[in-house]
Structure 1
Amino acid sequence: MLAAPVNPADINMLQGTYAVLPPVPAIGGNEGLGEVLEVGSKVSDVKPGDWVIPVDAGFGTWRTEAVCKAIDVILVPKDIPLLSAATISVNPCTAYRMLKDFGTLKSGDTVIQNGANSAVGQAVIQIAAAMGINTINIIRDRPNVKELKDKLKSLGASYVITEETLQKPEMTNLFKEIKKPKLALNCVGGHNAGNLLTHMEYGSTMVTYGGMAKKPMPLPAKALIFKDINICGFWMTQWKRNNMHDLNKIMSMVLELSELVRRGQLSAPVCTQVPFHDYKLALEATMKSYCSKHVLMME
């Protein structure tokens, strides 16, 4: 193993609250980048020196070495930055699938999302910008809000507004400039998610992929009745498991994302690199608010 992020889902798995749990004793970590050292005599898909990432959750990436089957990993190009490769399989893939699988988005369309400063949110901004799609990005107010807005706009965000602004009349003026959203992406839940529904186009879709507020989402009847808004969920782990029979589909997605990285259209999230032996620092930091992604560096 070369590097392995510490994601909130990894913490949930340790706590025993995640949707899938490995049999114990288990090794933590669901995402990471490894370099192949040796292969069996019948293995031809990978060779020593190749970079690989796990296909499924529960691989156990928080270790220095692993022995696995060839079908447990897929290749990732070695000509992209190490941190991009180590963080490509969860958040960028989640963003990619949500933008591709829930309706047909075309250049000039609009997507609205909360939690826009999250790793998935940043990936959504960049992938959408590459597709010519406008993004309205909702963030929580904070002392350095201007700095955060500037950062997200530098990634390609069309608009960055606070949760408070979302509820103000000035939103009407915004939709004189761009189309109303055909797609909403929700990782927060609670009233923040309910407020997104007010601004969506008729027949649009809201996809929930997280619930950071740990509160139920209100569903206004008028949004369902008069706007015919579709409400659904997405979980990257389940998508991968549904497509295990066709690893080419997963590999194609990773290669397309890697090409965006090469072209400078998709960068790795801001990461704090932590030596593997200091793993406790990474675990503790990941459980705090306003935390950058921590990545365990094995070498």
Structure 2
Amino acid sequence: MVTILEQVSLSVTCDLEPRAGLRELCCRERRVADEVKKAVAFVDGRRSCTLKYATDHQTSGISAVKMPINRVLEYMRFGDPTKVLQLVEKAMPNAPGAGQVVVKWIASPINPLDLNKISGTYPAHSAKFPCIGGSEAVGIIDKVGSGVKGLAAGDKVISALLKYPVWANYKLCGANEVRKVDDRLSTEFAATLLINPSTAYCMLKEYVDLSRGDYVIQNCADSSVGQNVILLAKEWGYKTINTVWDRPGAEESKKRLKELGADYVFTDNEFAKDGKKMIKSLKVPIKLALNGVGGPSIQKISSVLAKGASVVTYGGMSLKRHEFSTGSFVFNDLRAFGFAIFDYLEKPENQQKADKMFRWLQDLNAKGGIHPPEMEKCSMDEYAKAIAKSTEGGHLKQLLYFDSTFMNKH
């Protein structure tokens, strides 16, 4: 094994004629090193590869053969994701045993859930360090163990549950830890299918029996979940009233949400000033509110709900307590629920509904009725920049590619 460039490992094999002596071998090794330096530019950014040098009495040349590598994004302790996350090379997974598969992960979005798990603020995350990051991804089945049914090498899959880490090139896992998806799905949609579209679907279907023309109100409308709520509501004929944070870029967010199909969009301050008056003019009871922010925001949107309405909380982006006024909560008989998609998917009684939901979402995507949010693509080597943008906020969602050759593919 020789190292010719920083962090690029190359194995060189010389096949010589039987009469070649030690002196000739040394000379040829020098030529190999020179050829390798020229050839390394053709391995398209991959950190590691194997180069075989072949020669005989008629021809000589060099060929590059990419060998699989397994790099992971892991952390050894809880803390600031920009500081504790590291890119580390690991051994390739063992061959899959009975009921197991090896998955080659392609891409994964960086979600708030991922950052909270790394920082240790996510209470349900029990860590056994080192921990690999990530919660949802799209990949391809690389190898299949005995007894596995319904999966074959080359199948496109997504992670089936959020508790399994995915920020790795390759992962050995149980066949039940992945879900096969339509091969026609784009990388972007498949990578984000597990959490946000399904969260929006369940919140709109599980708590209130809505009919066409009914209104739903939500905060955090420019989040990935919020955008999916707008798209699904449009598909089912519901109307949406949406609020976004008062911050730079709010007007652009409002415009983008209207283009998606939002009926009304306000900043939080605009809603506090004009929201109640507008809603009163609708003369339609609002039976469902979706809350991903907490703090004063939920107090504002819950104050316009009909008697007996439901508030479903799926997040707390403000990092503040969820506030309800006594008048709204007690005397208006509001019902408050918490929703977490990972908990929903892990319950055996929900499996048939989940299967139906994922099939329906894929079919809707094929018809153009739902699509992934606009995202910024980044390679695994750019993880630090992508994590920083995700923690800062105000940027597009970051989509992390473990294999950069897929970045420009559908």
TM range, normalised to the smaller chain?
over 0.9
Bigger Rg over Cα: 2
Q: Tell me the residue number matched to 1:6.
A: 110
2: CA distance, partners of 1:47 / 1:178: 55
Offset at residue 86 of structure 1 (A): 0.5
The 5 Å alignment of 1:1-299 reads 1-18=105-122, 19-169=124-274, 171-177=276-282, 179-243=284-348, 247-299=351-403
2:290 and 2:311 in contact (8 A); partners too: yes
Structure 1 stretch displaced more, 56-65 or 266-275: 56-65
Contact (CA 8 Å) 2:242, 2:262: kept in 1 or not?
yes
Where is the strand percentage greater, Structure 1 or Structure 2? 2
User: Cα offset for 1:178?
Assistant: 6.0
Given that 1:107 and 1:133 are in contact with CA atoms closer than 8 Å, whether structure 2 keeps it comes out as yes
> Residue 129 of structure 1: SS of its match in structure 2?
helix
Q: Show CA shifts across 1:181-206 (max 9, x none).
A: 21101111111111111111111000
Gap runs ≥5 in structure 2: 1-104, 404-410
Q: Is the 8 A contact 1:125 1:135 kept in 2?
A: yes
Deviation at 1:20, TM superposition (A): 2.0
1:156 CA displacement: 1.1
What are structure 1's unaligned runs of at least 5 residues? none
Quote the Cα distance in structure 1 between the aligned partners of 2:169 and 2:339: 31
Normalized against structure 2, the TM-score is what? 0.70
Contact 2:379 2:401 in 1 (8 A): yes
Residue 137 of structure 1 and its aligned partner are, at CA, apart by 0.5
The alpha carbon displacement at 1:107 in A equals 0.7
Partners of 2:361 and 2:127 in 1: CA distance: 28
Number of equivalences: 298
Alignment-mate amino acid for residue 267 of structure 2: T
Higher relative contact order (CA 8 A, sep 6+): 1
The Cα RMSD (Å) is 1.6
Rounded Cα–Cα distance in structure 2 between residues aligned with 1:235 and 1:21: 17
Q: Is residue 375–residue 399 contact of structure 2 (8 Å, CA) maintained in 1?
A: yes
> Normalized against structure 1, the TM-score is what?
0.95
**Aligned equivalents of 2:275 and 2:121: distance in 1?**
40
Which runs of 4 or more aligned residues in structure 1 lie more than 6 Å from their structure 2 counterparts after TM superposition? none
Change (3 A) 1:170 1:254: closer
Rounded to whole Å, the distance in 2 between the matches of 1:68 and 1:268 is 26
- Structure 1 Cα separation of the partners of residues 128 and 390 of structure 2: 23
